A = this chain, B = another copy of it.
Amino acid sequence: MIIVVKKNCEKSQYDSLVDWIKELGLDVHVSHGEMSTVLGLVGDTTKVDIDLISTLDIVEKVQKVSEPFKNANRKFHPNDTIVDISGRKIGGDYFQVIAGPCSVESEKQIVEVALAVKEAGATLLRGGAFKPRTSPYAFQGMGVKGLELLLKAKQETGLPIVTELMSEKHIDDFKDVDVIQIGARNMQNFDLLKQVGKTGKPILLKRGLANTLQELLMSAEYIMSEGATDVILCERGIRTFEPTTRNTLDLSAVPVLKNMTHLPIVIDPSHATGVAKLVEPMSLASVGAGADGLIIEVHNDPKKALCDGAQSLKPEQFKTVMDKVNLMLPIVNKKYI
């Protein structure tokens, strides 16, 4: 940590600051410049309150040098984490495609879609049983019944399932789910993060609409601080001023995260754009950017979907996306299984 002290500050204040830092068990290295003096703090600075020091009259600026995340940090874990979900590997050279409907609606529907996406090449099944909806009057999902139907679909197809948990009180209902998804709106629901971290299951953690990549990794850190190792990060669009897409897909996040962390990163082009015909180009773009996987909404009858129909592909459209994705994978050194 670096503290820039104002020029011509009172000696007593300066001495008191330096003493206070030393009391925290840190070493201080001093550089006197023309306009200011710079203090370099050496030691464990994780407990120094950067905002508090900024507020002191004699301080011009404080800057962190090291990142505040550890378990998720590539510096301390240089090798890629490869998450193994019943034999499907994700991360490193491995790529997977998670597909399925926005919501589980009936046994017939979820089994049909599961068969269709498996046929087209998807390797995991997604589907919402608990749905986060902006309006209390909108369809909130089938709940526990929806989880049962997802497990039926898994039985029929062999596809592992990925589905969202919204509340700690349902955590026991998710014991047979393969990957627990934490949605964008709950990215900083810290109590929920701690709870899912205790399950030991793979967690798919979606980036919040206004969260930085460092905050995403801090939320991964919450999960990992409870013992979990298998966190899959998911970029699904951030909020900007541009109105033509629901959110703005931040694909630079992929190579930036690859540099910061060893965890795998998947992209959700369906929720990011909110428009079915943007899913193909943004899926190919995601592969180009180096993503470790895709999560795509597919529906057997978009016109009748209970939610988010506009962003769902029909199975035949999904097949076309998969065919092009598969042509691209060798160029970026990615493969399945």
Q: Which residues of B contact A289 (CB under 8 A)?
A: 281-282, 284-285, 288
A175 at interface (Cβ–Cβ under 8 A)?
Answer: no
In chain A between 10 and 52, which residues have their CB closer than 8 angstroms to a CB of chain B? 20, 29, 31-36, 38, 40, 42-43, 46, 49, 51-52
Q: Tell me whether A250 and B242 are in contact (CB under 8 A).
A: yes
A252 at interface (Cβ–Cβ under 8 A)?
Answer: yes
- Return the CB mask of A205-242 against B: 1 if under 8 Å, else 0: 00011101111001001100100000000000011111
CA distance A303 to B58 in the complex (A): 13
CA distance A233 to B245 in the complex (A): 18
Q: Tell me whether A252 and B241 are in contact (CB under 8 A).
A: no
A278 at interface (Cβ–Cβ under 8 A)?
Answer: yes
- Return the CB mask of A296-310 against B: 1 if under 8 Å, else 0: 000000110111111
Q: How far is the CB of A253 from chain B (nearest CB, A)?
A: 8
Q: Which residues of B contact A66 (CB under 8 A)?
A: 35-36
Query: Is the contact region of chain A dominated by helix, strand, or loop, or is it mixed?
Result: mixed
Q: Which residues of B contact A106 (CB under 8 A)?
A: none
- Return the CB mask of A253-290 against B: 1 if under 8 Å, else 0: 11110011000000000001111111001111111111
Q: Which residues of B contact A281 (CB under 8 A)?
A: 254-255, 288-290
Q: How far is the CB of A291 from chain B (nearest CB, A)?
A: 9
Q: Tell me whether B282 and A252 are in contact (CB under 8 A).
A: yes
Number of interface residues of A (CB under 8 A): 109
- Return the CB mask of A88-103 against B: 1 if under 8 Å, else 0: 0000000000000000
CA distance A309 to B167 in the complex (A): 32
In chain A between 183 and 199, which residues have their CB closer than 8 angstroms to a CB of chain B? 185-186, 188-192, 194
A86 at interface (Cβ–Cβ under 8 A)?
Answer: no
Q: Tell me whether A252 and B272 are in contact (CB under 8 A).
A: yes
CA distance A31 to B214 in the complex (A): 26
Q: Tell me whether A244 and B256 are in contact (CB under 8 A).
A: yes
Q: Which 7 A-B pairs have the closest CB atoms?
A: A210-B210, A284-B288, A29-B31, A52-B309, A51-B310, A31-B40, A185-B188
Give A contacts to B, CB under 8 Å: 2, 4, 20, 29, 31-36, 38, 40, 42-43, 46, 49, 51-56, 60-61, 63, 65-66, 68-69, 75, 132-137, 166-169, 185-186, 188-192, 194, 208-210, 212-215, 218, 221-222, 225, 238-245, 248-256, 259-260, 272-278, 281-290, 302-303, 305-311, 324, 327-328, 331-332
